[in-house]
Amino acid sequence: MTANTGPLVIVGGGVAGLATALSAAPRPVLLVGNSMAGSGGCTSLAQGGIAVALAPGDSALSHAEDTMAAGAGHNDPEAVDYLVAHAGPALRWLESQGVNFDLDRNGLQLGREGGHSHNRIVHAGGDASGLALLLALARAAQGSPHIAWRPPATLDAVLVRGGRVAAVRFTDTETGRPHETECADLVLATGGCGALFSATTNPPTADGNGLGLALALGVPLRDAEFVQFHPTALDIKTDGPLPLITEALRGAGARLVDDAGCPIMDARHPMGDLAPRDQVARCVWEHRQRGGNVWLDATELSRDWIWRFPTVHAIARRHGIDPRRERMPVTPAAHFHMGGIAVDLDGRTGVPGLHAVGEVACTGVHGANRLASNSLLEGVVFGRRLGRHLADSDRGLPRSGAERWIDRGASADQCNLRGLRELAWECLGPVRNGDRMAEAVDGIRTDSQVRDTWQGKVVVHLLQAAIHRRQSLGTHFRDDRPRPVRTRAAG
């Protein structure tokens, strides 16, 4: 880095961090992630793909309408317009970075997912879209001279000087040693917080630590109460992530059924099994609360099962199920955080030099419920915008003013973390209740071993946001409040 260039540090090697880093050229970038290049995080697990309006009769306007309807109208319209208008360019950019999307004889193959009024999900490697995308972007980043990719390390603290970001501190994964480096612009692309729930599709790295750091820095979060629950995680006993059964299977004709084999969604929503995720997740949750099981029946799907859904096939077989002949037991699970660090469309937070992008950030684009396959798209579209913005806005390092290191805070031990995750699932899951959430806040506040940890603080923040939103909206469903009038029946 040249002497008068303010160092740019990007934390997180998922789709959002990589898109930002690649687009910041020629500004030098130090890219840091706590897992090996091309692994870890949610991006590598994404199955369905990326939403782009390409089919005859489809349009960016229709994509925007579906996004707003799924988000219960709580979305930021400017962010939605930007997302859908830049979906086509994002797709072409991904192709130019080496992502090979699946084709059929008409061109790009377009899948269907819940809440979409057209077939518009492009995918790669069948249902291994995220991994294909991540590997291509990681390769492109490794071949880019402006990007220096640091060996795995975890961001722990930020130095603020004169009210601006001035340096960061990492812990090296291999040696456990701390490292400090100057930093004029810091991008948090650290992913979501699903791993704070005991039932989740997210890997342990999606633990909300970026939100913990933001809270320590006094940076506001937005829409923190809105967590999406995927209706179909494979129901197995594990402390780790539950394997996801992609919604694209329902798009291809798989049905959600009860123990007697009766479809559960037909009477619930005009779009049946492809109703918006929040509604399907609640229906599955309610069946299970009543003591029944819910199954995904994909036995009627065509013969190209293994070719189209190799990931789901391998997952099911690993758990002793042949999904071509047997139904798969499913449960809802925390999947995606619509809320996050409040940012504008250029990824700016309230603290000069601190930016956020991807799932850790909230532009308001997803509203109260994300439309399926809009989040890889968000990472690419807003990552590219932020990268270009940072390439042009290098202000150099702050040299004067009061300075203070701010770290995320103490971490909960394994035992307390397990209890906290169960509490989050029971109180902040698909069906919420004001009294139960208030009791949960009191419980955390009276236990110093949880209260004083960053995980405890993030969960309390989510609970308080959910308590303050007294009406049900999107994924935030309260059984102690009347339902709002929906803006559109389907979405």
Ligand X SMILES: Cc1cc2nc3c(=O)[nH]c(=O)nc-3n(C[C@H](O)[C@H](O)[C@H](O)COP(=O)(O)OP(=O)(O)OC[C@H]3O[C@@H](n4cnc5c(N)ncnc54)[C@H](O)[C@@H]3O)c2cc1C
Instruction: Work out which of 10, 22, 37, 45 binds ligand X, going by CB under 6 A.
Output: 45
In a 10 Å sphere around its CB, with 0-12 CB exposed, 13-18 middle and 19+ buried, how is residue 474 labelled? buried
For ligand X, the closer CB: 248 or 427: 248
201 sits near ligand X (criterion: CB under 6 A): yes
C-beta of 44: minimal distance to ligand X in Å?
7
Contact code string over 309-348 relative to ligand X, x by CB under 6 A: ---------------------------x------------
Instruction: Work out which of 20, 23, 154, 363 binds ligand X, going by CB under 6 A.
Output: 154
For ligand X, the closer CB: 32 or 465: 32
43 sits near ligand X (criterion: CB under 6 A): yes
Q: Which of residues 363-392 bind ligand X (CB under 6 A)?
A: 373-377, 379
Instruction: Work out which of 37, 42, 334, 341 binds ligand X, going by CB under 6 A.
Output: 42
Q: Which of 40-48, 53-61, 176-184, 218-226 is the region at the interface with ligand X (rule: CB under 6 A)?
A: 40-48
Buried b vs exposed e over 89-100: b needs ≥16 C-beta within 10 Å?
ebbebbeebebe
Neighbouring residues of 40: CB distance < 8 A, sequence distance ≥ 6: 13, 14, 33, 34, 203, 205
Q: Which of 39-47, 396-404, 438-446, 469-477 is the region at the interface with ligand X (rule: CB under 6 A)?
A: 39-47
94 sits near ligand X (criterion: CB under 6 A): no
C-beta of 210: minimal distance to ligand X in Å?
6
For ligand X, the closer CB: 14 or 441: 14
Task: Please count the residues of this chain forming the interface with ligand X, following the rule CB under 6 A.
Answer: 44
Q: Which of residues 155-194 bind ligand X (CB under 6 A)?
A: 155, 189-191
32 sits near ligand X (criterion: CB under 6 A): yes
For ligand X, the closer CB: 14 or 126: 14
Asked if 277 is an active-site residue, the reply is: yes
11 sits near ligand X (criterion: CB under 6 A): yes
C-beta of 264: minimal distance to ligand X in Å?
22
For ligand X, the closer CB: 155 or 465: 155
460 sits near ligand X (criterion: CB under 6 A): no
CA 77 to chain centre: 20
Contact code string over 241-280 relative to ligand X, x by CB under 6 A: ---x------------------------------------
For ligand X, the closer CB: 208 or 353: 208
Q: Which of residues 111-150 bind ligand X (CB under 6 A)?
A: 129-130
Q: Which of residues 203-222 bind ligand X (CB under 6 A)?
A: 205-206, 209-210
Q: Which of residues 407-436 bind ligand X (CB under 6 A)?
A: none
41 sits near ligand X (criterion: CB under 6 A): yes
Which of 277, 282, 385, 421 is flagged as catalytic? Answer: 277
Q: Which residues are tagged catalytic? A: 277
Contacts with ligand X, residue ranges (CB under 6 A): 11-17, 32-35, 40-43, 45-50, 129-130, 154-155, 189-191, 201-202, 205-206, 209-210, 244, 336, 358-359, 373-377, 379
